[in-house]
Amino acid sequence: MDRRRVWWVNQGDLLEIEKEAGMIWTPLDPLYQEESLNQIAIGDILLHHAHGKLLYISQASSSLEELRPRADLTELGRAIRLESHPLQPAMEREELVRLFGSLPKTYASIPTFETEGKGSISPFPLEALRLLYLIEKQRYNWPSFVKELFADRKYWIFQCNPKKFAFQRAVQDGIRHFTWKVSAYWQQIRPGDKVIIWMTGKEGGCQALGTVCSEVGRYPLLEQEKSYYLEDQPQEIKGCQIELDYVFDAPLITKRMIRDHPVLALMRVGYRGTNFTATLEQYEAILDRWLAKRKKNSVKSSTRSTYSLAQLAQETYLTESELMSWLEQIKRKKQAIFYGPPGVGKTYLAKKWARFFTESGRGFTEIVQFHPSYSYEDFIQGIRPQITKTGEMIYTMQPGIFHRLCQRARQTTDPCVLIIDEINRADLSRVFGELLYALEYRDQEIQLSSGDVFSVPSNLLILGTMNTADRSIALVDYALRRRFSLIRIHPNYAALRGYHLSFGEKIEPLINVLQRINQQIGDPQLEIGISYFLVHDLLERLEGIWRMEIEPYLEETFLHHPEMLRTYCWEKIKKRVKG
């Protein structure tokens, strides 16, 4: 049973604005439909109805957040971002009434057009949507997320011998993509099938749930898997690639626990072999147990799949192979700096990587921004004034933000992430102090200047961002640079194209101009990034962006070449960038 929910939305007067902006929006005061909006989760499906027709279907890509649906609307509201898909042809009212009438009467929450007002949001049965899809599968252009949701899939048990492959250590290190050996059912295993990952041995059990994401074939061993083989490392594997959806800290269900279970007792686990058949009921029984355990422990239950490397690649317009090489570096060093000119998306990338590492477990992400007055006392520890209950001021040694984060990270084995934005704006040698040693030798205790003992837990990752227009990477202390993986970020024109693709704006002339300017600058540390131009209605706003953001930057960059500044002033390039 899929955990996503479906919502029926009767669109109001803001239909076109909301559709263009890719969201559903409501003003802050009064906050209409607040209860329903707060229940919509990432991955939920929304059916958008207006003027007697089902016009489009969308999938929620964010939780509720405060924003304006369009820059020229001054009113602030709250919205949920959507991935929208027009339904062609639109389902007419008569067709909807006919289809709803054919559904079982038990679906009491199916909306009635007479009582539902504009702007209303109400639950819609998932099984009712499934039946609608099956009935009208060929007639309408259903979105891929609906097709995938209701695709025929099989369920499998994939076994692993922990004496041969350190699977548990791999998932603790953040690995979510594996190549799995297939020794049976080669012709039946298909992409989209669900798998139950089972560790063999006395201490084994169900360790994760995942999804098959390739056909069965011969695949070279993934780079990130190699270090976890405890015996001979194969050059290639006959099997399939899988992506983990749910990862458990310890075996969720053991063989002893399933003996008397009415559904799980029939699972074929612990036998010789890597692949066995399973059932939907067995998969759901394990997932139900996991969600119940999370709720019992007062930990927010995860109702969506792990944020995968494929999703990271899709959202950043980078290749999986490039991201994989970065992942290896980050895992090896446990700290990295994304560096490049302003506007290339360094902070955006750091946040996406933080989500990749922390979403599936109990880890956390914290962000701190360095500045010239940031000190060792702020970051590690220092003497701070305190007022006692009697009003007396005393001075005590207080932990800094990094010291507190290390204590917090020790409470879990899952990856935790600290993002240090603008890391080069502080005096790094002074801020980090003894941390230079502790970063390299994780979990080894060192003595601080105060006499306290301190260590950095191995599950705490540090991601920094550095603007090379402010300070070259070469000016950073070498001892500090050696502790970090340095990842250069360039202007990503593919991301700029992808962002404006849905708006239908002509972006290629602007990209040609930007590429030409960056060639003239001739220094990758000073290139113009793309984030200036990641706005809706770009062509209408471009003049203001260019005059007030790009030209001041070019004035400094071309300080000794005024003829270049004149070449790329707004009056000279406005016809070229607008096509």
CATH code at position 450: 3.40.50.300
CATH code of 121's domain = 3.10.590.10
Residues 513, 538 within the same domain: yes
Residues 19, 125 within the same domain: yes
Which residues of the chain carry a pLDDT beneath 70? 1-3, 29-35, 67-76, 99-118, 127, 151, 291, 294-306, 388-389, 471-477, 502-504, 579
Nearest to 142 by CA among 82, 88, 61: 88
Among candidate residues 149, 165, 196, the one where a domain is terminated: 149
| Strand intervals (E) in 468-555 | 485-488
- Half-sphere exposure of residue 160, counting CA atoms within 13 Å on the CB side? 26
Domain-located, residue 424: yes
Residues 316, 280 within the same domain: no
Nearest to 366 by CA among 340, 403, 314: 403
Residues 519, 393 within the same domain: no
Handedness of CA 387, 393, 397, 402 (dihedral sign): positive
Q: Omega into 342 within 30° of 0, i.e. cis?
A: no
Residues 273, 322 within the same domain: no
557-566 b/e with 16+ CB inside 10 Å = b? bbeeeeeebe
Strand partners, 179: 241
Give the integer Cα–Cα distance in Å for 292 and 281: 16
Give the integer Cα–Cα distance in Å for 216 and 514: 44
Q: Are 471 and 424 a contacting pair, CB within 8 Å?
A: yes
Residue 226 tokens, joined: 């190699």
Residue 435 tokens, joined: 């941390």
Looking at residue 292, its amino acid is: A
Give the integer Cα–Cα distance in Å for 467 and 570: 25
Domain-located, residue 206: yes
What's the pLDDT score for residue 420?
A: 93
Residues 484, 497 within the same domain: no
Q: Is 334 helix (H, G, I), strand (E, B) or coil?
A: coil
Domain-located, residue 74: yes
Residues 178, 216 within the same domain: yes
Q: Are 178 and 245 a contacting pair, CB within 8 Å?
A: no
- How many domains does the chain divide into? 4
Residue 89 tokens, joined: 């042809």
Q: Are 171 and 306 a contacting pair, CB within 8 Å?
A: no
Q: Are 57 and 9 a contacting pair, CB within 8 Å?
A: no
Residues 536, 570 within the same domain: yes
Q: Are 332 and 173 a contacting pair, CB within 8 Å?
A: no
Q: What is the pLDDT of residues 238-296, one digit of tens each?
A: 999 998 888 887 888 888 888 888 888 888 887 888 899 998 888 878 887 876 776 56
Domain-located, residue 421: yes
What's the pLDDT score for residue 5?
A: 84
Measured between alpha carbons, how far is residue 392 from residues 53, 125, 386, 397 in Å? 71, 63, 8, 16
SS3 track for 388-403: CCCCCEEEEEEECHHH
Nearest to 357 by CA among 349, 365, 346: 365
Nearest to 92 by CA among 63, 54, 48: 54
Residues 467, 388 within the same domain: yes
Looking at residue 295, its amino acid is: K
Domain-located, residue 301: no
Q: Are 423 and 374 a contacting pair, CB within 8 Å?
A: no
Strand partners, 6: 45, 124
CA angle 334, 335, 338 (to 5 degrees): 140
Alpha-carbon 418 to chain mean position? 16
Domain enclosing residue 193, as ranges: 155-296
Residues 6+ apart with CB under 8 A from 153: 190, 192, 193, 194
Give the integer Cα–Cα distance in Å for 290 and 249: 11
Give the integer Cα–Cα distance in Å for 133 and 136: 5
Give the integer Cα–Cα distance in Å for 466 and 472: 9
Residues 348, 430 within the same domain: yes
Q: Are 372 and 431 a contacting pair, CB within 8 Å?
A: no
Q: Are 206 and 138 a contacting pair, CB within 8 Å?
A: no
Q: Is 368 helix (H, G, I), strand (E, B) or coil?
A: strand
Residues 81, 185 within the same domain: no
End-to-end CA distance of the chain: 50
Q: Are 356 and 307 a contacting pair, CB within 8 Å?
A: yes
DSSP letters spanning 304-328: S----HHHHHHHHT--HHHHHHHHH
Whats the size of the chain, residue-wise?
A: 579
DSSP state of 228: G
Give the integer Cα–Cα distance in Å for 166 and 168: 6
Q: Which helix (H) or strand (E) holds 219?
A: strand 217-220
Q: Are 1 and 40 a contacting pair, CB within 8 Å?
A: no
Among candidate residues 488, 523, 539, the one where a domain is terminated: 488
Domain-located, residue 305: no
Domain-located, residue 1: no
Measured between alpha carbons, how far is residue 83 from residues 36, 306, 318 in Å? 19, 18, 20
| Beta pairing class for 205-212 and 236-247 | antiparallel
Domain-located, residue 30: yes
Residues 473, 324 within the same domain: yes
| Beta pairing class for 155-160 and 205-212 | unpaired
What's the pLDDT score for residue 349?
A: 93
DSSP letters spanning 342-365: TTS-HHHHHHHHHHHHHTTSS--E
Among candidate residues 123, 149, 175, the one where a domain is terminated: 149
